[in-house]
A and B are shown apart, each in its own frame.
Chain A
Amino acid sequence: MASYIIDKKDLKILLDKFLKEFKVYGPIKPGLDSSVDEIKSIDDLHLEYKSTIISPKKFFLPPKDTLFEFKIQKGNYEIKEIVNDEKFILFGLHPCDVNAILKLDEFFSGKFKDKYYQNRRKNSIIIALNCTQPGENSFCKSMNAGPFLYKGYDILLTDIDTKYLIEIGSDKGKKIIQGLKLNIASKNDLLKKEKKCKLANKKIKKILDPNWLPKLAEENLDHEIWIDLGERGGVAGSFPCLSCGSCSLVCPTCYCYDIYDTVDLSLKNGSRVRELDSCQLLEYGQVALGGNFRKDRKDRIRHWMFCKFGAAAGSKNSSCVGCGRCIRVCPSKIDITKVAKSLWRKK
Chain B
Amino acid sequence: MAKKPKIGVFKLTGCAGCQMEIFRMEDEFLDLIKLFDISYWKMAKRDNDDKDLDIALIEGGISTPWEIEEIKCIRKNTKFLVAFGDCAIGGCIPSIRNWIPQMESEEIVYPDPSKICSTKVHGIGEYVKVDAELKGCPPHRKTILELLKSALLKIRPRLRQHPVCVECKFQGNACLITSNKLPCMGPVISGGCGAICPTLGRICEGCFGPMSNPNASALANIFRDIGLNDEDIKRKFRKYSGMSPEFRLEAGH
Contacts and interface: CB of A to CB of B under 8 A. Distances in A.
Asked if A and B form a direct contact in the complex, defined as CB atoms under 8 angstroms apart, the reply is yes
Interface of A: 33, 35, 53-54, 58, 63-64, 231, 234, 239-246, 249-250, 260, 262-263, 265-267, 276, 278, 281-283, 295, 297, 328-332
A295 B213 CA distance: 9
A244 B212 contact: no
B91 to A, nearest CB: 24
A271 B145 CA distance: 15
B162 to A, nearest CB: 5
A331 B179 contact: no
30 contacts: A53-B172, A63-B170, A64-B170, A231-B215, A241-B215, A242-B187, A243-B163, A243-B213, A244-B165, A244-B187, A245-B162, A245-B165, A249-B166, A249-B169, A249-B170, A250-B169, A265-B35, A267-B152, A267-B153, A278-B162, A281-B163, A282-B161, A282-B162, A330-B178, A331-B165, A331-B177, A331-B178, A331-B184, A331-B222, A332-B218
A280 to B, nearest CB: 9
A231 B31 CA distance: 47
B166 A281 contact: yes
A265 B173 contact: no
B162 A265 contact: no
A88 B188 CA distance: 38
A290 B177 CA distance: 33
Interface of B: 28, 31-32, 35, 145-146, 149, 152-153, 158, 160-163, 165-166, 168-170, 172-175, 177-179, 184, 186-188, 212-215, 217-219, 221-222, 225
Contacts of A330: 178
Nearest to A35: B172
A43 B203 CA distance: 31
Nearest to B162: A281
B222 A239 contact: yes
Grouping DSSP codes into helix (H, G, I), strand (E, B) and loop, the A interface class, with mixed when no group exceeds half, is loop
A330 B163 CA distance: 14
Nearest to A284: B162
B178 A329 contact: yes
Nearest to B146: A262
B166 A245 contact: yes
A287 to B, nearest CB: 13
A288 to B, nearest CB: 9
Contacts of A328: 178
A234 B184 CA distance: 20
B215 A243 contact: yes
Contact of B212 (A249, A250, A267, A283): A283
B171 to A, nearest CB: 9
A278 B32 contact: no
Contacts of B146: 262
Pick from B28, B152, B170, B188 the residue with the most CB of A within 10 Å: B170
A332 B224 CA distance: 12
B215 A242 contact: yes
Nearest to B174: A33
A245 B169 contact: yes
Given A244-B166, A331-B219, 18 more contacts: A33-B179, A53-B169, A58-B172, A63-B169, A64-B170, A239-B222, A240-B217, A241-B215, A242-B188, A243-B163, A243-B213, A260-B158, A265-B28, A281-B163, A282-B213, A283-B212, A328-B178, A329-B169
Contacts of B169: 53-54, 63, 245-246, 249-250, 329
A243 B149 CA distance: 30
A328 B169 CA distance: 13
